[in-house]
A = this chain, B = another copy of it.
Amino acid sequence: MANPHKQFHLAVFLLAGGHHVSGWRHPEADALGVHDFQYYKRLAQTAERGKFDAFFFADVLGIGQNDKRFDPSNVRLDPMLPLAALAVVTERIGLVATVSTSYNEPFNVARRFATLDHLSNGRASWNVVTSFKSQEANNFNQHSLPDPSLRYEKAREFVQVVKGLWDTWEEDALVADKESGIFSLEEKIHDLNHEGKYFSVRGPLNISRPPQGHPVIFQAGTSEGGKELAAETAEAVFTAWSTLEKAQEYYRDVKGRMARYGRAPDQLKIMLGLIPIVGRTEEEAERKEQELQSLLLPEVGVAKLSYMFGYDLSPFPIDEPLPQTFNLGDAHGASRRFQPIKDIADREQLTIRQLYERYAGNRGHLQVRGTPEQIADVMEEWFVAGAADGFNILPPYLPGGLDDFVDLVVPELQKRGLFRTEYEGTTLREHFGLSRPANRFH
C-alpha cells in the first residue's frame, strides 16, 4: 500500500457533451444539458461526492468555420457564470475557469476571480490561456493570430498585473467600523501603478483581497513559451500525454525549470488528462468503448484529426496514408504534442481512417479502459513513475461517465491510499497543498 501522505490529486475537466468525440450521442448522455444549470450542478456535486480537488471548465472564444455541425462544444457558457452559481451549491470543490489573456483586461480578470474566490470562500482558480485559434482572433478585432512568443510575453505581464491587483488590499484593510464611520483603512489600500509594455494599470482593485490570497493559477503549456510561463507562474498544469515516457519527460522538464524562479517543485501540480472507460468487468468496459467508437462519423473523425494536427485533412483520400506534404513541425504549440501519433502513423503507414479510429475519439488523451482495479493500476503506475501529481478526469460522456468514475474507481483509489477519503481543508489551495502567497505590500 502506498504511503497515505503520498496521494495524488483529481480534477474533472468539463467539456459539454463529454470527452469522447461521440460521447454526446451515447444513449445515456444528456445532449441538451449544455444550457441547463441542473446538468452542471449534478456534475459538480458528483465530483464533490468523489472528494475531487477541482471542477475545471474549458473554454474557447469562437467556432471554427468548418466546424458548425457535429460539435457540442460549439455551445459553451461563459465559464465564470456557471462556476459562480456552482459556488453556492457546493462546499469544498475547487472551481477552475479558463480565461484568455489575449482578449480580456487584467483589471476585469483580477476582479472576477477575486469575486469567485469570495463567493466560494477560497475555491477559485484561473486557468491562464493565450488563445491560439484564428477563429478567436477574428472575434476580437484581429484578422490574424498574433505570434505565439508575443502572446506569451503579453500573458506573462498580464498575470503579473493580476497578482499585483490581488495584493492591493491588505488582509485587514476592510474594517466596516460603524462607530467611527471608517469603512476601510486608507493606508492598507495600495495603488499598483503598473506601467509595462502591454498594460498600464493604476489600481487599487475595488474588492478586498481574495480568501486564498491569490486564486490558484492553472495553465496548460506545452510549447517552450508555455512551459517557461508555467515554471514561473503556474501552481497547477493541465497536460495530455498518451505515453508514459513523454509524460515523465514533460514532468521533469517543467519541474526542472522552476528553480530558476526560486520555486520548489511541489509548488506546481502536474495534472494529466485521462479518459476512463469503466466497466464492472473487462467485457463491459470493452463493450462501452466499442459503442462509443461505433458512433464516430467519418467527417467527425477527419475533422478532429485535422484539429489535433492543426492541418486540414478533409481534402485527402480517407483510405490512404497522411499526405506527404504535411509536417507537424509547422504546427502551433498545442498540436506539437501529437508528434508521437504522427510518428506511429508514418511508421505503420496507417490510413487517415485507421488513424482517426485509433486516436480521434480521445483526441490524443490517455484513454484507459477496464475494471476499476485496472484503471487504478494505470493511475498508480504513472503517479509512482513520476509522470503526474494527479489526473484531470475526462469522462467520455456525461453525466454517466463521471458517475462511473466516482462510484467505482474512486473507492479503489481510496482503498489503496492514493486518494483522500475526506477533504481536510476548505480552500482549493489547501486541497492542492499550495502555500498562501504573501502580500507584496505588507
Collect the chain B residues with CB atoms within 8 Å of residue A27's CB.
178
Contact B181 A61 (CB under 8 A): no
A215 within 8 A of B: no
Q: How many angstroms between the C-alpha atoms of A72 and B74 in the bound complex? A: 41
Contact A204 B22 (CB under 8 A): no
**Of B41, B103, B184, the contact of A74 (CB 8 Å cutoff):** B184
Q: How large is the interface on A (under 10, 10 to 19, 20 to 34, 35 or more residues)?
A: 35 or more
**Of B24, B116, B143, B184, the contact of A68 (CB 8 Å cutoff):** B184
Q: How many angstroms between the C-alpha atoms of A174 and B24 in the bound complex? A: 13
Contact A139 B89 (CB under 8 A): no
**0/1 string, A66-99, CB within 8 A of B gives 1:** 0011111011111011101101110000000000
Q: How many angstroms between the C-alpha atoms of A105 and B138 in the bound complex? A: 12
Collect the chain B residues with CB atoms within 8 Å of residue A182's CB.
69-70
A225 within 8 A of B: no
Contact A186 B68 (CB under 8 A): yes
Contact B35 A208 (CB under 8 A): yes
CB-defined A-B contacts under 8 Å, sample of 21: A31-B183, A41-B88, A61-B111, A62-B107, A69-B185, A69-B186, A71-B183, A72-B176, A72-B183, A74-B206, A75-B206, A78-B112, A85-B88, A103-B105, A107-B139, A138-B200, A138-B202, A139-B202, A141-B199, A181-B295, A181-B297
**Of B138, B183, B186, the contact of A24 (CB 8 Å cutoff):** B183
A288 within 8 A of B: no
List 7 additional contacts besides A35-B118, A70-B181; criterion CB under 8 Å. Answer: A17-B183, A24-B176, A41-B88, A84-B84, A85-B85, A138-B201, A140-B201
Contact B77 A118 (CB under 8 A): yes
- In the complex formed, the residue of B with least CB distance to A296 is B181
Q: How many angstroms between the C-alpha atoms of A4 and B306 in the bound complex? A: 62
Copies per complex?
2
A115 within 8 A of B: yes
* Chain A residues numbered 15-52 whose CB sits less than 8 Å from any CB in chain B: 17, 22, 24-25, 27, 29, 31-32, 35, 37, 41
A421 within 8 A of B: no
Contact B77 A207 (CB under 8 A): yes
A108 within 8 A of B: yes
- In the complex formed, the residue of B with least CB distance to A200 is B141
Q: How many angstroms between the C-alpha atoms of A283 and B300 in the bound complex? A: 74
Collect the chain B residues with CB atoms within 8 Å of residue A118's CB.
35, 77
- In the complex formed, the residue of B with least CB distance to A66 is B186
A104 within 8 A of B: yes
Contact A119 B61 (CB under 8 A): no
- In the complex formed, the residue of B with least CB distance to A169 is B75
A203 within 8 A of B: yes
A360 within 8 A of B: no
Tell me the smallest distance from the CB of A122 to a CB of chain B, in Å.
12
Collect the chain B residues with CB atoms within 8 Å of residue A402's CB.
none
Contact B107 A105 (CB under 8 A): no
